[in-house]
Structure 1
Amino acid sequence: MSQRFFWLKSPGMLGLILLLQYGQLAAQKVYSIASPGGTTVLELRAEGGKLSYQLFFKGKTITNRSALEITVDGVSFNTAKISRYVKPALHRESFASPLGEQDTLYSNYRQAKLYLKTNSGNQVRLDFRVMDSSVAFRYAVSVADAVPHQLRELTTFSFPSSPLIYQYNQESVFTPTLVDTFHTTTDLPVTLLADGNYCQLGEAANLNYTKVELTRGVDGNTLAVKFPRDTAVLSSKQIETPWRTLSVAGSAIALAHCRTLNLKLADAPAPGDLSWIRPGKLIRAQLNTQSGLDCIDFAVKHHFQYIMFDAGWYGAEFRSSSDPCQVIPAIDMAKVIAYGKEKNIGVILYVNYVGLKSKLDTILPLYKQWGVAGIKFGFVDGLSQAGLSWLSQAIKKVQHYGFVLNIHDNYKPTGLSRTYPALLTQEGIRGDENSPDAFHNTTLPFTRFFAGAADFTYCFPNSKNSFSKNIKVSKAQQLALSVVYYSPLQAVFWYGQPNDYINDEEIAFYNYVPTTWNESHYLSGDIGKGIAVARRKGDTWYLGCAAGPQDWETMLDLSFLRPGITYTATIYEDGDNQAINKRTVTLNNTDKLPVKLLAKGGQAIIFRSGANNPEK
Structure 2
Amino acid sequence: MIACSCRYRLFFSFLIIGWTFSQSVTAAPKPNIYQANSPDTKTRIDITVNDQKELVYRMWQADEPVLNWSGLGFQLDAVSVGQAVVVKKQTAHTHKEQFAWPLGENDVIQNEYNELKLDCQSGSVSYQLIVRVFNGSVAFRYVLPKQKEENVGVIRQEYTTFALTDAYTIYQYNEESVFTPTTVSDLQKSCDFPATLTNGRFFLTIGEADNREYTKSVLTAGKANNSLAIAFHNDSVKTTTGFQTPWRTISVATSAIGLHQFSDLPLRLCTPTSPTVPAWIKPGKLIRSGLSTQGGLNCIDFAAKHDFQYIMFDAGWYGAEFRTTSDPTQVIPAIDLPKVIQYGKEKGIGVILYVNRVGLRAKLDEILPLYKKWGVAGLKFGFVDGLTQEGITWLASAIKKVYDHGFILDIHDNYKPTGLSRTYPNLLTQEGIRGNENNPDAFHNTVLPFTRFMAGAADYTFCYPNTNRYFTDNLYKTKLQVSKGQQLALSVVYFSPLQAIFWYGNPTDYNDEGEIEFFKRVPTVWNESQYLVGEIGKVVSVARRQGSTWYVGSVAGLSDWTGTLPLHFLSSGKQYKATIYDDDAAGGIRKQVIDLKPTDSFPISLKAKGGQAIIIEEKN
Q: Tell me which interval the TM-score lies in, with the shorter structure as reference length.
A: over 0.9
Give 1:567 deviation, angstroms.
Answer: 1.1
Query: Distance between the aligned counterparts of 1:162 and 1:558, measured in 2?
Result: 35
Give the Cα separation in 2 of the matches to 1:515 and 1:16: 46
State the Cα distance separating 1:368 from its structure 2 match. Answer: 0.3
Of 413, 416, 431, 1:412 maps to: 416
Question: Do the aligned residues in 2 keep the contact of 1:145 with 1:237 (CA within 8 Å)?
Answer: no
Please name the residue that 2:107 is paired with.
Answer: 103
* 217-226 or 407-416, which deviates more: 217-226
Match of 1:16 among 13, 28, 33: 28
Q: Give the aligned residue type for 1:153.
A: E
Alignment match, 2:163: 158
Report deviation, 1:229: 1.7
Task: Determine which of 260, 266, 275 is the counterpart of 1:262.
Answer: 266
Amino acid of the structure 1 residue aligned with 2:322: F
- Give the superposed CA RMSD: 1.6
Instruction: State the partner residue of 1:496.
Output: 505
C-alpha deviation, 1:179, in angstroms: 1.4
Q: Secondary structure at the match of 2:323?
A: coil
Q: Distance in 2 between matches of 1:153 and 1:195?
A: 29
Q: Given the alignment, which residue of 425, 429, 450 partners 1:425?
A: 429
Question: Which residue of the partner structure matches residue 34 of structure 1?
Answer: 37
Please state how far the C-alpha of 1:180 moved relative to its aligned partner: 1.3
Structure 1 residue matching 2:428: 3-state secondary structure: strand
Residue by residue, what CA displacement relative to the aligned partner does 1:333-362 show, whole Å, maximum 9, x if unpaired? 010001001101000000000000010000
Alignment partners' CA distance in 2, 1:285 and 1:462: 15
Query: 2:11 aligns to what?
Result: none
SS in structure 2 of the partner of residue 207 of structure 1:
coil
**Residue in structure 2 matched with residue 602 of structure 1 by the alignment:** 611
What is the CA distance between 1:181 and its match in structure 2?
1.1
2:26/2:35 contact within 8 Å kept:
no
Residue in 1 that maps onto 2:299: 295
Q: Is the 8 A contact 1:181 1:220 kept in 2?
A: no
**8 Å CA contact retained: 1:189, 1:451:** yes
Distance 1:323 1:400 in 2: 23
Aligned to 2:207: 202
What is the correspondence of 1:415-564 to structure 2 with a 5 Å cutoff? 415-464=419-468, 465-466=471-472, 469=478, 471-564=480-573
Is the CA contact 1:337–1:371 (under 8 Å) kept in the aligned structure 2?
yes
- Rounded to whole Å, the distance in 2 between the matches of 1:75 and 1:554 is 57
CA shift, 1:107, in A, is 1.5
CA offset at residue 470 of structure 1?
5.5
1:25 match: none
Letter in 1 for 2:306: H
Quote the Cα distance in structure 2 between the aligned partners of 1:415 and 1:158. 26
1:394 pairs with 2:398: yes
What is the deviation of 1:86?
1.2
Corresponding residue to 2:282 among 278, 285, 289? 278
The equivalent of 1:26 in structure 2 is none
Percent of aligned pairs with the same residue?
53
The residue number in structure 2 matching 1:136 is: 139
**Structure 2 equivalent of residue 346 of structure 1:** 350
Report the equivalent of 1:193. Answer: 198
8 Å CA contact 2:101–2:277 kept in 1: the answer is: no
Relative to the length of structure 2, the TM-score reads 0.93
Q: Where do 1:580-595 residues align within 5 Å?
A: 580-595=589-604
Cα deviation code 1:391-433 (max 9, x no counterpart): 0010000011110000000000000011100000000000111
Alignment of 1:116-265 (within 5 A): 116-118=120-122, 120=124, 122-142=125-145, 143-147=147-151, 149-151=153-155, 152-194=157-199, 196-230=201-235, 232-265=236-269
Q: Give the match's secondary structure for 1:341.
A: helix
- Checking the alignment, whether the CA contact within 8 Å between 2:100 and 2:276 is kept in structure 1 is no
Pick closer, same or farther for the CA change 1:195–1:514 going to 2, 3 Å. closer
Q: Distance in 2 between matches of 1:110 and 1:264?
A: 13
SS at match of 1:71: strand
By how many angstroms is 1:110 displaced?
A: 1.2
Long gaps (5+) in structure 2: 1-19
Match of 2:118 among 114, 117, 123: 114
The one of 560, 570, 585 aligned to 2:579: 570
Q: What amino acid does structure 2 have at the position aligned with 1:385?
A: Q
The DSSP-based 3-state class of the residue aligned with 1:418 is helix
Per the normalisation by structure 1, the TM-score is: 0.94
How many Å apart are 1:504 and its aligned residue? 0.5
Q: Deviations over 1:139-160 (max 9, x none)?
A: 0013333325111311001112
- State the SS of the aligned residue for 1:10: coil
Q: Which residue of structure 1 aligns with residue 369 of structure 2?
A: 365
Mapped pair 1:51 → 2:55: yes
- TM-fit CA distance, 1:58: 1.4
Quote the Cα distance in structure 1 between the aligned partners of 2:373 and 2:259.
45
What is the alpha-carbon distance in structure 1 between the residues aligned to residue 369 and residue 619 of structure 2?
48
Q: CA deviation at 1:220?
A: 3.2
Say whether the 8 Å CA contact 2:27–2:33 is kept in structure 1: no
CA deviation string 1:551-603 (max 9, x = no partner): 12332221211222211100000101101000011112222212111100000
Q: Is 1:67 aligned with 2:71?
A: yes
* Alpha-carbon distance in structure 2 between the residues aligned to 1:589 and 1:572: 20
| Structure 1 residues 572 and 219, CA gap change in structure 2 (3 angstroms) | same
Q: In the aligned structure 1, how far is the partner of 2:422 from the partner of 2:601? A: 36
Task: Determine the structure 2 residue equivalent to 1:86.
Answer: 91
